Amino acid sequence: MKLENLPAAAKDELNLVLSFFSRVDAKLSVVLAIDTGMLAVMGTDAPPLKDLTWAMLAVGLVALVLLGASIFFLYRGAFPSLKGGNASLVYFREIAGRTEHQFIQDFKQQPDDDYANDILGQVWRNSEILKAKFDALRIAFTLLAVAIIPWLVTLMLFAASTSTNRSTLFR
């Protein structure tokens, strides 16, 4: 396939791939907010340590581990590996490794085909990074969904314990 303007087509492809990053990052933020909110509710509703039962500890620990694992995968999605792009004049880490003058000179001297290949290499690498981010988001969301049941059970156990303690307090 011969494109009339390969560098322009490569730039369009790069922009298309880059447009998906904000979508996955927004979803990562939403799942993080839900995870931390669930942890906060669980922590504030917990009875004193001396009043914790084995059931509360067991179910609460399951919820805590699932939410913690979800947060771990959110971290992996937020900070994927950025290795690659060696000698690229498009990849920001490689550009930052040059002096300003050297980057400008190298960029001006590259042929159109080399520039297009560099952009297409960036498209491929960004696609790999985006896939890793989406995979981490999917796992984090699944762990969050699985955590809902033990989290709710934990809150019910906490509420039952607290209401029992309160009712004896006011007698």
**What is the per-residue pLDDT across 89-140, written as a single tens digit (0 to 9) for each?**
999 989 999 999 999 999 999 999 999 999 999 999 999 999 999 999 999 9
- Residue-level pLDDT at 1: 55
pLDDT at 166 over 70: no
Give domain status of residue 90, yes or no: yes
d(Cα 147, Cα 41) in Å, to the nearest integer? 13
Contact 136, 80 (CB under 8 A): yes
Nearest to 63 by CA among 142, 148, 136, 137: 148
Q: Is residue 171 part of a domain?
A: no
CA–CA dist 124, 14 (Å, integer): 9
Tell whether the model's pLDDT for residue 84 goes beyond 90.
Answer: no
In a domain, 59, yes or no: yes
Taking the C-alpha atoms of residue 90 and residue 9, their distance in angstroms, rounded to an integer, is 15
**Is there a domain that residue 169 lies in?**
no
Angstrom distance (rounded) from CA 31 to CA 12? 30
Domain that holds residue 28: 6-163
18 in a structural domain: yes
Whether this model's pTM surpasses 0.75: yes
How many domains would you assign to the chain? Answer: 1
